[in-house]
């Protein structure tokens, strides 16, 4: 038996070679399996570290509190989700997104806590769309997007309030050592984050086109005049902006507009009272024509903020006639509530202008803040703001007589407007509709 065994081994070289090959092959397979298992374990461990690092980075890059567990922090909402249809959810864990006192550039017109408001629950409401979540506002991500760029808000004091909100959202999240500045030059005011060379600006143009109300300080004139066909005086200040956010609504709210054909100071000018909607339509056409000619479609994102509702008539939500938002501490609970402070016909004119621009190959996104803001009758400054003029005895005896039911307290409703704007800015394709 030993001899046969030896013969087999010694007289069959091919079989010996085959045995060696089999052994080598099996060894190779074993080595590969070991390598694959080891690699999987290593990658899993590394993945865990990366995820942990990402969470750590995400939580430290923005000083705002973390969102509630149900909210998505990173993913943008589905492409067909209507961000503007939803409900307000009370959330005193993750809201407000910043503290009033933390914002270096807070406006005294909007600093309700500073001027004596005690009920601060208006700061703790989160907008929840019905079928998705708003992306969490990440100031660092926005500043990176704005590196070497300009974000410019153009419009009236409501748009200025949204600009202040945006500045507060960004500035309160920046390290205290990070240099920043605020510079005013006529109608243009610029917040600059120096490390990013990023600008967040506001340009005062309450009627978009030229008017006799264009002075950013002295603009309260009894006889409002608009040059519905002239916009270049304003537009040259935002020609090279990378993101433009427009609004224009409340300054048009009168039956007729004194409209000028010609220029101010020119005796040959023609003045005519024009029905307000028609004058508004002419101004929007001037605005749209300028955008079509001057905007770089590959460089600039365009947005229009819908009308901001007012709460000046308490009878509209079931309270006493002659009262307004003064002393209100709760929002309106009726679904789809709409007050008379909004003018849907004006927004239809805006939509028509935007659709016309789309047919000309230019996309402007309408950020619909109207319905979600309609519910928030308690979100206005009311009497809790700096009074720029001495109060009369009548006003002192009846505080509702001087309550501001037009603008909004900060932190508050305009922060949500900016969350909506943020979601659109970071939409990967400017041609997808949320």
| pLDDT tens-digit map of 2-28 | 433 333 333 333 334 333 434 444 444
**239-280: pLDDT as tens digits:** 999 999 999 999 999 999 999 999 998 888 999 999 999 999
371-402: buried (b, 16+ CB within 10 Å) or exposed (e) per residue?
bbbbbbbbbbbbbbbeeeeeeeeebeeeebeb
Domain edges within the chain? 2-53, 69-425
**What are the pLDDT digits (tens) for 67-112?**
333 333 344 444 678 999 999 999 999 999 999 999 999 999 999 9
Please give the mean pLDDT across all residues of the chain: 85
Q: Which of 107, 156, 157, 400 is catalytic?
A: 157
The whole-angstrom separation of Cα 155 and Cα 162 is 10
Given 234, 242, 380, 407, which residue is catalytic? 407
69-425 in CATH: which number? 3.40.50.1110
Confidence of residue 286 (pLDDT cuts 50, 70, 90): very high
* Residue from 426, 407, 331, 422 nearest 111 by CA: 407
User: Cis link prior to 17 (omega < 30° from 0)?
Assistant: no
Is this prediction's pTM over 0.85? no
pLDDT of residue 246: 98
Assign 47 a pLDDT band (cuts: 50, 70, 90): very low
Closest CA to 157 of 425, 414, 419: 414
Q: Indicate if 268 belongs to the active site.
A: no
Q: What's the whole-number mean pLDDT along residues 409-423?
A: 98
229 is catalytic: no
Indicate if 311 belongs to the active site.
no
133, 156, 214, 404: the active-site residue: 404
CA-CA distance, 178 to 198, in Å (whole number)? 12
């Amino acid at each position: 038996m030993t001899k046969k065994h030896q013969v087999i081994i010694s007289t069959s070289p091919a079989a010996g070679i085959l045995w060696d090959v089999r052994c080598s092959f099996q060894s190779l397979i074993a080595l590969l399996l070991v390598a694959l298992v080891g690699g999987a374990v290593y990658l899993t461990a590394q993945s865990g570290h990366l995820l942990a690092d990402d969470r750590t980075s995400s939580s430290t890059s923005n000083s705002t509190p973390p969102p509630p567990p149900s909210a998505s922090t990173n993913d943008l909402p589905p492409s067909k989700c209507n961000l503007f249809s939803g409900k307000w959810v009370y959330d005193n864990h993750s809201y407000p997104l910043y503290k009033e006192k933390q914002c270096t550039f807070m406006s005294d017109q909007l600093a309700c806590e500073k001027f004596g408001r005690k009920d601060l629950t208006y700061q703790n409401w989160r907008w929840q769309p019905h079928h998705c979540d708003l992306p969490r506002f990440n100031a660092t991500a926005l500043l990176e997007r704005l590196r070497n760029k300009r974000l410019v808000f153009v419009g009236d004091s409501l748009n200025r309030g949204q600009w202040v909100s945006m500045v507060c959202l960004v500035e309160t999240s920046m390290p205290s050592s990070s240099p920043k500045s605020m510079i005013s030059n006529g109608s243009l005011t610029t917040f600059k984050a120096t490390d990013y060379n990023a600008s967040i600006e506001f340009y005062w143009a309450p009627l978009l086109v030229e008017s006799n109300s264009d002075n950013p300080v002295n603009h309260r004139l009894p006889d409002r005049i608009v040059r519905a066909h002239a916009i270049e005086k304003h537009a040259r200040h935002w020609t090279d902006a990378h993101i433009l956010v427009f609004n224009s609504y409340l300054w048009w709210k009168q039956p007729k507009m004194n409209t000028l054909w010609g220029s101010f100071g020119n005796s040959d000018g023609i003045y005519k009272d024009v029905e307000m909607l028609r004058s508004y339509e002419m101004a929007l056409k001037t605005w749209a024509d300028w955008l079509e000619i001057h905007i770089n479609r590959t460089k600039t994102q365009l947005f229009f903020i819908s009308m901001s509702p007012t709460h000046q008539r308490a009878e509209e939500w079931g309270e006493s006639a002659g009262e307004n938002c003064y002393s209100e501490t709760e929002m309106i609970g009726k679904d789809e509530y709409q007050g008379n402070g909004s003018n849907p016909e004006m927004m239809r004119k805006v939509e028509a202008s935007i659709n016309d621009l789309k047919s000309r190959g230019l996309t402007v996104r309408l950020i619909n803040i109207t319905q979600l803001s309609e519910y928030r009758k308690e979100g206005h400054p009311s009497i809790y703001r700096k009074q720029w003029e001495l109060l009369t005895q009548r006003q002192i005896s009846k505080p509702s007589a001087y309550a501001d039911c037009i603008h909004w307290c900060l932190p508050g409703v305009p922060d949500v407007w900016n969350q909506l704007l943020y979601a659109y800015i970071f939409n990967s394709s400017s041609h997808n509709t949320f």
